[in-house]
Amino acid sequence: MTQCLINRRAEFAASHRYWLPELSETENTEQFGACALFPGHGHNYVLFVSMAGEIAANGMVLNLSDVKYTIDREVVTLLNFRYLNTAMPEFEQTLPTTENIARVIWQRLEAHLPLVNIRLYEHPELWADYQGKDMQANLTVSTHFSAAHRLALDSLTLAENQEIYGKCARVNGHGHNYHLEVSISGEIDRRTGMIADLGKFQQAIEEFVIEPLDHTFLNKDIPYFASIVPTAENIAVYIQKVLTLPIRQIGAKLHCVKLIESPNNSCEVFGEAELGADELESSSEQAIFEQNLPQLALAT
Q: What's the CATH number where 150 sits?
A: 3.30.479.10
Query: Which residue, 80, 111, 132, sits at the end of a domain?
Result: 132
As for how many domains the chain has, the answer is: 2
Confidence at residue 268, expressed as pLDDT on a 0 to 100 scale: 98
Check whether residue 32 and residue 82 sit in a common domain.
Answer: yes
Check whether residue 246 and residue 99 sit in a common domain.
Answer: no
Residue pLDDT tens, the chain, 300 long: 678 999 999 999 999 999 999 999 999 999 999 999 999 999 999 999 999 999 999 999 999 999 999 999 999 999 999 999 999 999 999 999 999 999 999 999 999 999 999 999 999 999 999 999 999 999 999 999 999 999 999 999 999 999 999 999 999 999 999 999 999 999 999 999 999 999 999 999 999 999 999 999 999 999 999 999 999 999 999 999 999 999 999 999 999 999 999 999 999 999 999 877 555 554 444 444 444 444 443 333
Let me know: does 14 contact 81? Beta carbons within 8 Å: yes
Q: What positions carry a catalytic annotation? A: 168, 215, 261
Check whether residue 69 and residue 120 sit in a common domain.
Answer: yes
- The C-alpha angle with vertex 139 and arms to 254 and 260, in degrees rounded to 5, equals 70
- The C-alpha angle with vertex 79 and arms to 76 and 83, in degrees rounded to 5, equals 165
CA–CA distance, 223 with 214 (Å, rounded to integer)? 15
Global confidence as pTM? 0.90
